[in-house]
């Protein structure tokens, strides 16, 4: 058996990669520190407060100063806070505060790291799935995935859904304002459903999800938001949710998770009114792998490896579309299911929004 000759090592490239990996090590450790800062209110306590010592932050958050001092030092080393050596104080700049402390901000990030913690906990399941080829269902993940995903998606939906995405869907907004019937399939904890119900009080909304715990939490959220008079949530799958005559069916960041997206598309077609609209919100992706090799693509491919592809492979058909399917492949699936008009209605750096009509 022949053995390949050892390849020469370029010392400069080796050093460059090792330092890149050191950066990754710091980022990985900081993921846990972000969870700590979010859970204990450290970022929120620093937001708008100006320079603070570790003792002042500890007192404000009722935490132990020695831990806070080390946490602040790590945050300063990573550029999450600034440090003034002359005064021994730390400051959370307004830009970082917008991303780390303001849950109403369109760029609020800690929810992602909460979901990430579930990926770490679930690594043994995913490693075993690599060996067997079997799937891992959404419901089989750590609970942090459900809560973290909702917290991460919520700011994006709040920023774009009502103001940009629905107005881009032709006559759909007018129908919703007048009073229409809407299905939100794969609704998760109900954030998207509730946002639409708040914006269009004359319409009625039903959120469907196969995960009973998510539906329970969605019902609680609807009660809290005061929209239970026009919103209901039911446990159902994308291929068999009940009802017909929907003016709008919405899928938010979930079509690629389904084992049989074409089968789901055929079911949607049968539940729409004659000129109804299917809005499909998906992670932003180009059609070619080489065009997705960037920081956003990296996040989505990683999430797809740990969550999305295993979810699809756990279901019937098990297409394994992946979170970076791209508009071309998605459009082909929709047209194969019988939709005749498919177009990109809107986009953000993180999402593409497709409009499909019969």
Q: Report whether 211 contacts 138 (CB < 8 A).
A: yes
CATH topology of domain 11-102: Arc Repressor Mutant, subunit A (1.10.10)
**Res 5: pLDDT:** 81
* Rounded (to 5) percent helix, strand, coil in the chain: 55, 15, 30
Complete DSSP assignment for 266-294: HHHHHHEEEEEEEEEEEE---SSGGGG-S
b/e 31-41 (16+ beta carbons within 10 angstroms → b): eebbbbbbebe
Reference 166, options 59, 250, 73, 52; nearest CA is 250
Q: Which region, left, alpha or beta, applies to residue 245 given φ > 0 means left and ψ of -120 to 50 means alpha?
A: left
Burial of 338 (0-12, 13-18, 19+ CB in 10 A): middle
Burial of 104 (0-12, 13-18, 19+ CB in 10 A): exposed
Reference 341, options 349, 330, 331; nearest CA is 331
Q: What is the largest CA-CA distance in the chain?
A: 75
Query: Which residues lie across from 346 on neighbouring strands?
Result: 353
Q: For the chain, give every domain's residue range.
A: 11-102, 156-357
Q: Report whether 78 contacts 30 (CB < 8 A).
A: yes
- For residue 350, the 8-state DSSP code is S
Distance CA 262, CA 259 (A): 9
Distance CA 77, CA 89 (A): 14
Q: Collect the ranges in the chain with pLDDT lower than 50.
A: none
**Res 1: pLDDT:** 54
How many helices (DSSP H) and strands (DSSP E) are in the chain?
15, 9
CATH assignment, 156-357: 3.40.50.150
Q: Report whether 187 contacts 263 (CB < 8 A).
A: no
């Amino acid at each position: 058996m022949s053995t390949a000759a050892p390849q020469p090592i370029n010392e400069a490239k080796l050093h460059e990669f090792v330092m890149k990996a050191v950066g990754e090590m710091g980022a990985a450790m900081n993921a846990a520190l972000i969870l700590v800062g979010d859970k204990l209110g450290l970022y929120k306590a620093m937001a708008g407060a100006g320079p603070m010592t570790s003792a002042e932050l500890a007192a404000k958050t009722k935490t132990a100063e020695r831990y806070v001092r080390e946490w602040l030092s790590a945050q300063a080393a990573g550029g999450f806070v600034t440090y003034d050596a002359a005064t021994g104080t730390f400051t959370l700049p307004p830009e970082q505060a917008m991303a780390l402390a303001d849950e109403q901000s369109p760029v609020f990030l800690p929810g992602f790291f909460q979901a990430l913690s579930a990926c770490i906990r679930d690594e043994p399941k995913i490693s075993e799935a690599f060996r067997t080829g079997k799937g891992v269902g959404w419901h089989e993940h750590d609970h942090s995935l459900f809560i973290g995903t909702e917290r991460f998606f919520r700011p994006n939906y709040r920023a774009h859904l009502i103001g940009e995405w629905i107005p881009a869907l032709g006559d759909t907004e007018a129908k919703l304002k007048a009073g229409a019937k809407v299905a939100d399939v794969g609704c998760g904890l109900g954030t998207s459903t509730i946002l639409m119900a708040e914006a269009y009080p004359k319409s009625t909304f039903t959120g469907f999800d196969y995960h009973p715990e998510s539906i329970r939490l969605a019902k609680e959220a609807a009660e809290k938001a005061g929209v239970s008079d026009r919103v209901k949530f039911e446990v159902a799958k994308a291929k068999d949710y009940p009802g017909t005559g929907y003016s709008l069916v919405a899928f938010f960041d979930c079509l690629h998770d389904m084992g049989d997206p074409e089968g789901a598309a055929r079911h949607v077609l049968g539940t729409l009114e004659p000129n109804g609209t299917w809005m499909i919100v998906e992670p932003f992706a180009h059609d070619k792998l080489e065009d997705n090799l960037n920081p956003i693509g990296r996040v989505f491919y990683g999430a797809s490896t740990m969550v999305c592809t295993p979810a699809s492979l756990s279901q019937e058909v098990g297409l394994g579309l992946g979170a970076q399917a791209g508009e071309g492949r998605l459009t082909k699936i929709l047209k194969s299911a019988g939709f005749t008009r498919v177009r990109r209605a809107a986009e953000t750096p993180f999402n593409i929004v497709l409009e499909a009509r019969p």
